[in-house]
Amino acid sequence: MEEKGMSKIDEVAALVEKGKAKQIGAAVQAALDEGCDPVEILNKGMIDAMGVVGEKFKNNEIFVPEMLVAAKAMKVGVEVLKPHLSSGSTGALGKVIIATVAGDLHDIGKNLVAMMIESAGFEVIDLGVDVPIDKIIAAVNENPDVKIVALSALLTTTMPSLRDTVAALNAAPFRSNIKIMVGGAPITQAFADEIGADGYSEDAASAATLAKSLVK
């Protein structure tokens, strides 16, 4: 029985990796029908599979489109799983607020990071693009249990906006309760250090790894 259960979870993982959104629902249901533990399906069948996808992306074995379809397949699978999971499991690692800073309208990179962070086991609150400082501060105040604020700037011209946003968060009374991570094409580790962020990641796959390391 044990063997069989594993194979169903392996099937789910393979479908996530290949981004087969149309088939994933049935595979998740089949694993549940066979008595597989929903949390195990989530962790081994989906989160681990997205980890593999992230690694492949980092090594240039696959590219953004493949990563997007895998994340989409996982989303579909999670919808089938949700009723069987205790409310905490899907966002078990905590809440992350993500935003592209004021003046910057880029959302593809941010959306990828949001998907990868969500697939790593966080609950993501996406504030969108061109987000003013006060809106980010308000979101943290509304979600006092938030663990990470992830900020994206994709233009050299919006780097000052990122600097100002991080400065405002650093001055906020809740600063000791949160970690700030930053990213985007022009951003470097040196710039992240200079503006007082806790972490920097160069791509979406590393962002998920970074987020996990920041909440340890």
pLDDT at 82: 81
The helix/strand/coil state of 44 is helix
Residues 6 and 113 placed together within one structural domain of the fold:
no
Identify the CATH number of the domain in which residue 172 sits: 3.40.50.280
Residue environment code for 67-103, b if the CB has 16+ CB neighbours within 10 A, otherwise e: bbbbbbbbbbbbebbeebeeeebbebbebbbbbbbbb
What per-residue confidence (pLDDT) applies to 109?
A: 84
pLDDT of residue 88: 59
Positions of the chain with pLDDT under 50: 1-3
Last residue of one domain, picked from the residues 86, 114, 144: 86
Q: How many CB atoms lie within 10 A of CB 41?
A: 26
What CATH number is associated with residue 13? 1.10.1240.10
pLDDT value for 1: 41
Element (H, E) at 65: helix 64-81
Residues 128 and 202 in one domain: yes
Number of structural domains (the chain) is 2
Residues 82 and 142 in one domain: no
pLDDT value, residue 86: 66
CA distance linking residue 84 with residue 77, whole number of Å: 12
Q: For the whole model, what pTM was predicted?
A: 0.75
With beta carbons less than 8 A apart as the criterion, state whether 177 and 208 touch.
Answer: no
Query: pLDDT by residue (tens digit) across 147-190?
Result: 999 999 999 999 999 999 999 999 999 999 999 999 999 999 99
The residue from 54, 86, 118 where one domain ends is: 86
pLDDT at 204 (0 to 100):
82
Of 86, 114, 143, which residue sits at a domain end?
Answer: 86
Whole domain around residue 78: which residue ranges?
A: 2-86
